[in-house]
Chain A
């Protein structure tokens, strides 16, 4: 009778566990691929891969139950299985060195994917020709920005994450002389003209904007989209309340057509607006020229490229960079890719900015694994050829 510890160890080093995990992993990947049609690529990653369990709602009930192991669980167990096998099962021989190398690489690959899941972040950066810009914008996160613009020399920005606005609870920021009271919040919304909708206005009893653009436009709540080529545009109705009563209610939206709205309070100038969350950089990029080559006589894109000036405030870097397809710029821990363009506007380029501290790990892992596989394949092949040479001519079946 084995001791329980030994049984546990045997369980974790067993090939049977490997095969079971691989099968589960395959099913997970397959189902997740199918579900992309409904959920889109981003939500699928959260639901299936960056989770310990895939949870689903029981039909007809509002109860969520885990029904399948998620990516972290399968990947984690596979990792334990692999590492345990290295310690307890694998014995080094030259004939098996390739296999062990491959599995060591696999450990790296799994770890790299874990780190990527934890630390990778991507943003977009829209550059207009000739306009320097020192921030990128989030794809999915938004913030309510209230900016004190009184001093012409600098802006004093207070940015409140969308998630806080979504709670619809009043909040006070030490830098601001008023409270912020989110009244309504929609994760995805459109804008519509307020005039053309008098009937709805008189019928609906909800709060209305009393200041700014909101006097003319209303928010139109929309279903949250999961499509990879569409973006959710959150909107909110925000009331600001000073020490002596409400200042006003504003409609804010991340819709790019909606600029920050100005107002005055207590002798100071402010702007208020909802925007894609900004991430400031210690350097500035300026688009010098965007090129969009097409094949002769067609609209089929041949190449996109952006010539960009990169400079830092301290003057240590001041140079031109060409970013084009399959040729990103790596700088200060970030990678800038040519991601998109605005149709019909060749003065604008859209870059994708990725921060992934572990981007090198897959490269290392893959080199190790490829080496291991080639080693093993070569040994098999030479062994096979040697056997064929030794064996007599086979008789046809």
Chain B
């Protein structure tokens, strides 16, 4: 029976992957998925509304699912429809995450008032919004590097509220229950209204009511335009200019000039009307007409958008995370029983997880038209991908499940890190001027990230060595030797990649800033990794460390790499500094502490190690 285990693992993993690839089904008769595929221009990128919904939710509350007060589960796109089209309902949804107790105190709220003890609705926050605004103004004056946790939390919540406000004004004027009716009325009266306003300005007799009505609705459009940055209305039919996308408010303001309501803005008002009344037929009709119109001009962008929506709903990195965890357990148990069968099962599950992650990374590359690493988020994906790739190679050579265990851990951890990094919004962001160079992104960034992968991998293999040696009897001298060979090989690989990557970075810096080396924190971080690798190799060649010492040094490589990858960004200085949260700092500190502990454990006298294989000959 157990000989079928690897096959069963393979089939189950494939079935699981297959199940995630099914296209999403509409929850009701309304074609919300078709709506989710409509592209809008946000932050310089044409992206489907589905992405807007998901990245907004991640930003506001760190997860994509929403539970309404009447206990319904909403898909992200349904949530977006509620926020944009019937905001009076969405205002009661608890989707603002607040964890800092002092921020809750601003609103006179307690954790128990929130959903899951941390999520709150706009309705709950509304009474004390003025005070939050005042606190945000105070915090804003403080330089970002020296803000304390409270100030950061205030600014984050304030930013989230602004984001929500932008969503509310994206399609319609949020406080008009029948905005479509307003627009249709405007369509009929706009000519008379404009004349009346002109006459009024010239001081001639005019229809006061018509002038007043027009001014009122015009002001509404101005507010809509000023309150959002979602460019949802495509450019007019005679232009293909990507800059021509406008906010609904701006497009509607044009009505006063052209005398007819912009069809794109009208379509959104119609969608809002249909969604409010839950009229499936009307909604679906507008979606298909709107899409047919876009199809004529933006066909390639629509193809990409459709793929992106499939990518969003498949969540390949989530699938990989689950499979990596599964592979880890299979591989660990293979050390206890059925080494052949469980080891092979682990390897297969691992391979599938890796392929899924590869497809995910590949899809992102195609969508962005960029090399794999463009920001911290994608670097986390790539570090994991590279390390697991190396592990697959090692495992196919050594077949002792050690590399599979390391792969499971690193793959799982890096994807968890990536998930936390994705909480700041859309992860496919546009590249700022100096970074807008596919050549350097493809060389320097990819090589250095591969170097991080290898250094982490060496460190995790060394952890396996120490943990198995100290806490179990399973580290016989053959296993120890093979681990040592693996770590040595990987460290050589890491040295090469870290060094070449750092050098390429220097050349890029020389090309863009006129100096090969500027002692910027991130550059120094890379240098420290190179130095650490060099120390390890020289200490080994000089006989200063042997097998165990080399392993302990390899664990130190984890600290050095962790520092270079994230720690340098937390300093808040230099060219590579990005905003950072306390959670990230705590996570890094915890990681470093754990590694220091492992180094200490690795230095325990050999007679305290439960594996006796190392005693005597080698130390």
Contacts and interface: CB of A to CB of B under 8 A. Distances in A.
Contacts of A16: 542, 544
A120 B492 contact: no
Contacts of B474: 397
A32 B496 contact: no
B514 A37 contact: no
B231 interface: yes
B532 A352 contact: no
Given A297-B231, A325-B434, A41 B542 contact: no
Q: Is the interface of A mostly helix, strand, loop or mixed?
A: helix
Interface in A104-124: 112-113, 116, 120, 122
B524 A116 contact: no
A339 B433 CA distance: 11
A326 B434 contact: yes
A113 B516 CA distance: 9
A333 B528 CA distance: 32
B335 A369 contact: no
B430 interface: yes
A384 B572 contact: no
A335 B478 CA distance: 57
Contacts, number: 179
Contacts of B437: 325-326
B184 interface: no
B170 to A, nearest CB: 13
A122 B510 CA distance: 13
A329 B538 CA distance: 41
Given A18-B542, A297-B229, A374 B496 contact: yes
A384 B532 contact: no
B580 interface: no
Contacts of A22: 531, 534-535, 538
B499 A369 contact: yes
B573 A41 contact: yes
Contacts of B45: 295
A19 interface: yes
Interface stretch (A161-169, A206-214, A314-322, A356-364): A356-364
Given A29-B524, A32-B524, A396 B573 contact: no
B433 A325 contact: yes
B74 interface: no
B559 to A, nearest CB: 11
A15 interface: yes
Nearest to A23: B535
Interface in A6-44: 14-16, 18-19, 22-23, 25-26, 29-30, 32-34, 36-37, 40-41, 44
Contacts of B398: 394
Interface string A344-375: 00000000101010010011001001100110
A306 B43 CA distance: 25
Q: Which of B339, B538, B568 has the most CB of A within 10 A?
A: B538
A41 B399 contact: no
Interface in B508-526: 508, 510-521, 524-525
Contacts of A384: 489
**Interface size bracket, B side:** 35 or more
Nearest to A305: B433
B432 interface: yes
A228 interface: yes
Interface residues of A, number: 62
A388 B614 CA distance: 24
B482 A36 contact: no
A26 B528 contact: yes
A303 B436 CA distance: 8
B514 A337 contact: yes
A248 interface: no
Interface string A42-70: 00110001000000000000000000000
B541 interface: yes
Contact of A377 (B42, B440, B493): B493
Contacts of B579: none
Contacts of A297: 41-44, 229, 231, 243, 245
Contacts of A396: 339-340, 343, 399-401
B532 A26 contact: yes
A200 interface: no
A390 interface: no
Contacts of B358: none
B397 interface: yes
Contacts of B210: none
Q: Which of B430, B437, B525 has the most CB of A within 10 A?
A: B430
B573 A394 contact: no
A302 interface: yes
Contacts of B496: 373-374, 377
A3 interface: no
Nearest to B503: A366
Contact of B517 (A15, A40, A113, A337): A113
17 contacts: A15-B541, A30-B563, A41-B574, A122-B515, A295-B45, A301-B433, A325-B436, A326-B434, A326-B508, A326-B512, A337-B514, A352-B514, A362-B510, A377-B493, A396-B339, A397-B400, A397-B401
Given A328-B511, A377-B492, 12 more contacts: A36-B573, A41-B518, A44-B519, A49-B519, A122-B515, A300-B432, A304-B433, A325-B512, A328-B512, A352-B514, A374-B496, A397-B482
